């Protein structure tokens, strides 16, 4: 999927990946790639601004630790993030169901 | 780590591209952790070190693209210092200096009036000098605000409203002399603008608070002292001391904010003067 198409849904996807538990940036992106079977072709570096934005909005919190001599930032969902994920999930389900119903509908009858 | 020259070079380029951010060290540390984790993953499955770095960087994206994403705001703007924001900083510093000139000139005029007992040429000149300083400062404040808007990559609806009110106040100041009218417009604009800036949290907070509250503090001081009938009462029934203390309060607090924000904009290295920088191309 092209980056532009993914952009509008990136926040939801990041919240969903973090719903399993706290992860650092590389693990979040790796999980996103794995769970989507490499469907999302997005420059990995551009995911970080989205994580920062979600943290600033109070949907995520982060902590720093030192792992193998490197500083590592780990993100986790906040209560607000969990609530937003639930809402966004419901909205997405409704939307995708509606699209699926339209696409599965009968083809336009040909004119006699 | 010379053996990871490609990653180190990338991180250095990225650091240069986001050097204007307060949290530059945290950003680079986070990217460094990601890139080395990815290279280690490739190496663990037998990929040559150089190839591992190339594949990692290919996936991560061009440093200019990443820096651009890190500078993008919710309004779609790019929050970076430029040669224009630097110029606006100079306007801000001058507006602060002029704001201090205002109460000095008016105080000298009022002292002269009290001593001579009349409003004559000296008093009129002092009043005119103070007024000219205020008008010039007000115009320069709007230039500063445009620069701050650019530096923040846009300040949303609050920013537009704040800038609009301030600009309207300055236009009215040049065509109609009613200080409380246009002063309130300019002051409200600066206050709304400062709130928008604080929400974005890019500029120094103390200077932003002083910038936004100076006019309001001056008005409050003036009205409170007038209500308390502090000082002598002149032939018009006004309280000159209340007026002076209000003007001094407004000028000093505003000047602290204006000079502080101006110095901050001046101190930043513009990101638009080096052709090799990412923002010019992406």
Tell me, what's the ipTM? 0.85
pLDDT value for A112: 55
pLDDT value for B278: 40
Largest alpha-carbon pair distance within chain A? 75
Question: How many Å lie between the alpha carbon of B72 and the closest alpha carbon of chain A?
Answer: 8
Q: Which residues of chain B have pLDDT under 70?
A: 1-2, 177, 272-282
Chain A interface residues facing chain B, Cβ-Cβ under 8 Å?
A: 24-26, 29, 43-46, 48-49, 52-53, 64, 67, 70-73
- In B72-214 the beta strands, taken as DSSP E runs, fall at none
pLDDT value for B281: 40
Counts for chain A of helices (H) and strands (E), in that order = 5, 3
pLDDT value for A28: 94
Question: How many Å lie between the alpha carbon of A43 and the closest alpha carbon of chain B?
Answer: 5
- Write out pLDDT tens, residues B82-107: 999 999 999 999 999 999 999 999 99
Q: What do you get for the CA distance between the two ends of chain B, in Å?
A: 30
Which of B26, B31, B36 lies closest to A45 in CB terms? B31
Q: Is B26 on the interface with A (CB under 8 A)?
A: yes
Contacts of B176 (CB under 8 A, 6+ apart): B182
Nearest to A54 by CA among A90, A21, A81: A81
d(CA A105, CA A29) in angstroms, rounded, equals 36
Q: Could you tell me the two tokens for B154?
A: 């846009």
Q: How far is CA B104 from CA A34, B127, B250, in A?
A: 68, 10, 13
Which of B27, B36, B61 lies closest to A43 in CB terms? B61
pLDDT value for A4: 54
Element (H, E) at A60: strand A60-67
pLDDT value for A5: 56
Phi, psi of B239 (to 5 degrees): -115, 95
DSSP A40-106: -B--GGGHHHHHHHHHHTTSEEEEEEEETTEEEEEEEE-HHHHHHHHHHHHHHHHHHHHHHHHHHSP
pLDDT value for B276: 41
The answer to whether the Cβ–Cβ distance between A25 and B34 falls below 8 Å is: yes
The answer to whether the Cβ–Cβ distance between A43 and B66 falls below 8 Å is: yes
List the beta bridge partners of residue A72: A65
The answer to whether the Cβ–Cβ distance between B70 and A53 falls below 8 Å is: no
- Residue A80, pLDDT > 90, answer yes
pLDDT value for A67: 92
Which of A25, A29, A46 lies closest to B69 in CB terms? A46
* Mean pLDDT computed over every residue of chain A: 87
d(CA B40, CA B4) in angstroms, rounded, equals 11
Which residues in chain B (64-83) have CB-CB distances under 8 A to chain A? 65-66, 69-70, 72, 74
Q: Could you tell me the two tokens for B15?
A: 């650091």
d(CA B280, CA B282) in angstroms, rounded, equals 6
Nearest to A27 by CA among B38, B103, B47: B38
d(CA B58, CA B60) in angstroms, rounded, equals 6
Q: Which pLDDT band, with edges at 50, 70 and 90, does A2 fall under?
A: low
pLDDT value for B239: 87
3-state secondary structure of A70: strand
d(CA B24, CA B32) in angstroms, rounded, equals 12
Question: How many Å lie between the alpha carbon of B194 and the closest alpha carbon of chain A?
Answer: 19
The answer to whether the Cβ–Cβ distance between A26 and B62 falls below 8 Å is: no
pLDDT value for A7: 61
Q: Is B202 on the interface with A (CB under 8 A)?
A: no
- Write out pLDDT tens, residues B227-253: 999 988 877 888 889 999 999 999 999
Which site among A4, A6, A23, A26 would you substitute to test the B interface, given the most B Cβ atoms closer than 10 Å to its Cβ? A26
Which of B33, B61, B74 lies closest to A26 in CB terms? B33
Q: Could you tell me the two tokens for B213?
A: 């509250």
Nearest residue in A to B28, CA atom: A71
Nearest to A27 by CA among A36, A17, A19: A17
Question: How many Å lie between the alpha carbon of A96 and the closest alpha carbon of chain B?
Answer: 26
Distance, CA of B154 to chain centre: 12
């Amino acid at each position: 999927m092209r980056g532009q198409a993914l952009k509008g849904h990136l926040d939801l996807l990041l919240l969903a990946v973090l719903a399993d538990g706290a992860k650092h940036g590389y693990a979040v992106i790796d999980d996103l790639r794995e769970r989507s079977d490499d469907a999302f072709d997005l420059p990995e570096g551009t995911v970080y601004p989205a994580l920062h934005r979600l943290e600033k909005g109070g949907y995520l919190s982060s902590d720093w630790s030192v792992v193998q001599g490197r500083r590592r930032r780990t993100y986790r969902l906040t209560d607000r993030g969990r609530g937003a994920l639930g809402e966004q999930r419901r909205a997405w389900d409704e939307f995708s169901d509606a699209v699926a119903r339209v696409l599965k509908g009968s083809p336009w009858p040909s004119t006699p | 780590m010379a053996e990871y020259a490609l990653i180190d070079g990338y991180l250095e380029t990225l650091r240069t591209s986001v050097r204007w951010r307060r949290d530059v060290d945290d950003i680079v540390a986070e990217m460094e952790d990601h890139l080395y984790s990815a290279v280690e993953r490739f190496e663990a499955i037998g990929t040559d070190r150089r190839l591992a770095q190339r594949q990692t960087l290919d996936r991560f994206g061009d440093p200019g693209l990443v820096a651009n994403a890190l500078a993008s705001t919710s309004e779609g703007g790019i929050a970076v210092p430029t040669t224009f924001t630097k110029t606006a900083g100079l306007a801000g510093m001058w507006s602060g200096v002029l704001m201090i000139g205002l109460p000095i000139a008016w105080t000298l005029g009022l002292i002269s009036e009290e001593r001579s007992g009349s409003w004559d040429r000296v008093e009129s000149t002092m009043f005119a000098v103070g007024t000219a300083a205020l008008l010039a400062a007000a115009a320069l404040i709007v230039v500063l605000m445009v620069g701050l808007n650019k530096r923040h990559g846009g300040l949303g609806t609050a920013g537009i409203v704040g800038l609009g009110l301030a600009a309207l106040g300055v236009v009215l100041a040049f065509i109609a002399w009613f200080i409380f009218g246009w002063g309130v417009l300019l002051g409200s604009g600066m206050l709304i603008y400062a709130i928008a800036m604080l929400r974005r949290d890019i500029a120094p907070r103390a200077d932003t608070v002083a910038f936004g509250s100076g006019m309001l503090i001056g008005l409050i001081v003036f009205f409170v002292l007038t209500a308390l009938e502090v000082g002598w009462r002149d032939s018009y029934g006004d309280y000159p001391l209340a007026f002076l203390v209000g003007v001094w309060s407004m000028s000093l607090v505003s000047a602290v904010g204006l000079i502080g924000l101006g110095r901050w904009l001046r101190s930043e290295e513009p990101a638009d003067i080096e052709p090799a920088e990412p923002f010019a191309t992406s």
